[in-house]
A and B are shown apart, each in its own frame.
Chain A
Amino acid sequence: MGRYLIIRVGRWIASVAIIVFVTYAMMFYGAADPIKRMFMTRNESDKWLDQLTIDALREKYGLDKPFPEQLKNYVSRLLVGDWGNSFAESNRPVWDMVRAKLPISMQLGLAATVLITIVGIPLGVLAALCHNHWPDAAIIGTISFVNGIPQFVTAPMLMLLLVLGLHVLDVPYGWKGLFDQQVILPVVVLSLGAVQGVIRQARVGMLEVMSADYVRTARAKGLPERLVIMRHMLRVVLIPVVTSIGLTMITMVNGAIYVEKIFNIPGFGSLTLNGLNSADYPVIMASVLVGTLIILVSNLLVDLIYPLLDPRITHEGHD
């Protein structure tokens, strides 16, 4: 386990380092000039900023230095927890922006995770219990249908249906906290994209466990069916289901970008999109890093937690 952990973490650090390098290089050589973006698109009258001012601004942000030096400066500050200052938002520290916006997306993601857990597991179990009957077919058919439709299509369709058609919701717009009714649609849209993994995992796990000897024994000793399911089957099934919830994170991060744009939620997704649109290097770097870290950390956690939950799995044989 120790050796496995060291290799995993070592590779992990190498991956993060390479992602930092490649992203920085792509921005440095590719993205539009942040100074021009800042002062020439926002305000038309400033269009002819004189060269002296441009040079001064460039020096101020350290943009006049060659690539290796800029990268070195960036990385050395990153290592002590300084994510740099935003170009577009009047020199605001990026860390402050991330700290203000990430929790909003986290709350949305968390609410969606809770929703897919409490809806997904029962649906998967139900499908397995009705294997080869119509509820199974209906559930599996519906999720393969729903899963494919991207969030930027489900969200408009649900808005049309619930807001314009049935008048049951107000127009969802902005962020008024987790317990406002405006949260309903964004959370539902996020969940719809990710729920199928949980349902499928729960269903397949139940189907495998149904014919196990100890389940038959439990039935034979006269345990009521409800208890057989709750105590003997669900417990085993929950392990892979819990890890599959960890793997829905990638859907959540991608989905957040769409959902936050559609519903105008000032979260991590909109931070990313604005950063890209204004060539705000430090913000783009932070978005890519945070997005990737969320995925990498959840994958790592899944890998590390799995053997704790299921003693049959060890990492001794790996690598």
Chain B
Amino acid sequence: MSTGPGLGYHILDTGGAALPGSLQSNKRLSQWLRFRSDGVVEVSSGKVEIGQGILTAIAQIVADELDVDLARICMLPASTAASPNEGVTSGSYSIEHSGLALRYACAEARAIFLDAAAQRLGVAAQGLAVRDGTIAGPGNLRTSYWELADQGLLDRDATAKVAPKPVSARQVAGTAAGRLDIPDKVFGRPRFVHDMRLPGMLFARVLRPPSPGAALTALDDAPAKAMPGVAAVVRDGSFAGVVAATDEAALAALKRLGARARWQESDTLPDEANLRAWVKSQPVESTSIDVREAAAPGETVRMLRREYSRPFIAHASMAPSCAIAQWSDAGLNVWTHSQGIYNLRADLALVFALAPERIVVEHAEGAGCYGQNGADDVALEAALLARAVKGRPVSLLWSREDEMAWAPLGACQAVDIEADLDEKGEIVAWRHDVWGNGHVSRPGRGKTPTLQAAWQLAKPFPRSVAVNPPLAGGGGSERNATPLYDFPAWRITNHRLLTMPIRTSSLRSLGAFANVFAIESFMDELAAERGDDPVAFRLRHLKDPRARAVLEAAARRAGWSGWKKRDGAGHGIGFARYKGAGAYCAAVAEVEGEADIRVCRLVLAVDVGEVVNPDGVINQMEGGAVQATSWVLKEAVRFDHRRIASATWETYPILRFSEVPAVEVEIIARPDEKTLGAGEAAHGPVAGAIANAVFDALGVRVRDLPITRERIVAAMG
């Protein structure tokens, strides 16, 4: 992709404000980018590719600000040895944090190089233009980034005083550039950590306990050790595993080791059939999230109250988690698909009592991850096993069963909503209570490690209970609990569980999925009580013009007002602004069925502010909508009082090709608004839309997800 020449640069008066995005905590320009004399721009983002196309979007921003072709940009894998520390790739923040930082860093780098070129060419910088890295002045005066590279020009701190290009001058950002990683993936070239082969590498497998509460009481490792190809058998408390020359040999040894293991199990899990009652009966920490008092409270004549819930949901990544670890005299090297390399390093440092500088954590791609799957856990396990074969890299691959049953799960939640209504049926006050485990057990944030194996060691670290991220960042369990609707009064309360029999951590959209499902279901119930059209009822409670615009666009595109009611079919709408401060999304679902529901069509309208890559946004919205459909119709982690029972694709089914609805996405372009993440915007609205469409089709309201045949039959009774 070619860019036109950009002329000179423009200085901003920043008035001493904090630097934009992640520049504030990573000021050194050379940490972000480097020009190579061979015509390549190396870019280090601290954010990582998890299948969302973020590195391509960031490269587009860089190409624009530097005036270079996209093809010249090389996105380096994030590494604690070199990359800026941008925390975790999560929360749909990557464009806001890393994209913004690089936008300013590149604008400034370009100005620095223009100044250097001006000096070399003996002209004013403002008269110089850049086209694909070549800097040209009047007449035949020419130099380039590549000629001026290697002079340490970027060994300085960013000031953010050079203005990035105005939206109208951007030529690469805003276009549907092809993803940089896709060619490798269609030609089968190694791209994933699973495919990395290092010299002398060994393969490992972990001996998994039969249940979350199990302790290893006896282990005879002699038969496994004697097997061909076995390099080591490791045991530390209830953690054990094997290292061998090949994955096959490791699996064979693991089988033999498992036959000689004795476990003490106990019943630690809740009653799967009564999750809503369980979650409300646990000790909790209650927090008031928001209170709005009405200036002139209306008179309540009636109160409507409904209870909703979602089950535990698995990440169920296509790839079982994997990591490579290698110990040397210098310390520990880890290759991982973790979303937070610095955070993982911090927990590894705690477990091994090592200075963090002695650990290098480098990102390598894994399968799509939708929050904290097993990526961090497997990295610690690989390091524990590799310690027994110092000097050799050890690749540890989880089994499918490990991934389904041992990765952290998305938390079960119960949501109660009450509305006080006046004599006309208008909403006078609204109360929303949400119960559930915290949504974050990510490493690197506490004094003790959150990685599972650390809790299994002979000298175990204390188990921690999942927490919620700060409300300023959108919160966790309480994410999207505060409605965007203009109700005169409300009281929003979060109840975080202080017990955690089933380990939970971040799963795409955190609490927003359940809260938006509940709010949007309840809005429909209120509209139905009044006989109001669900779209009109919502619009009547929404002032925010961007919110109204997505609702109207989705309804229009779906042909909402022209819908012909017919037996066994229904349509429904759902809406939310993600985190109350992120992307706006409205969804219309059309469903068919009598007990087995099929979602036929989803129409989404989304406003993510300025769009960096329209096809990337559409891809994220489509993917989010399909995944949410799968959650709503099919997914619940199964267990008895002792063991997780949904450890395979047969026992944890997800939506298949023949069941996937048609998905249409309309982007409402807002080039002058801040770019917002798209990855998590669809889940809540789609859940609400499907539940409401099921009600429209069948006249029954399913308030406990998933909406399965059994739940529909139960709701009919």
User: Do the two chains belong together in a single complex?
Assistant: no
Q: Tell me the A residues contacting B by CB distance below 8 Å.
A: none
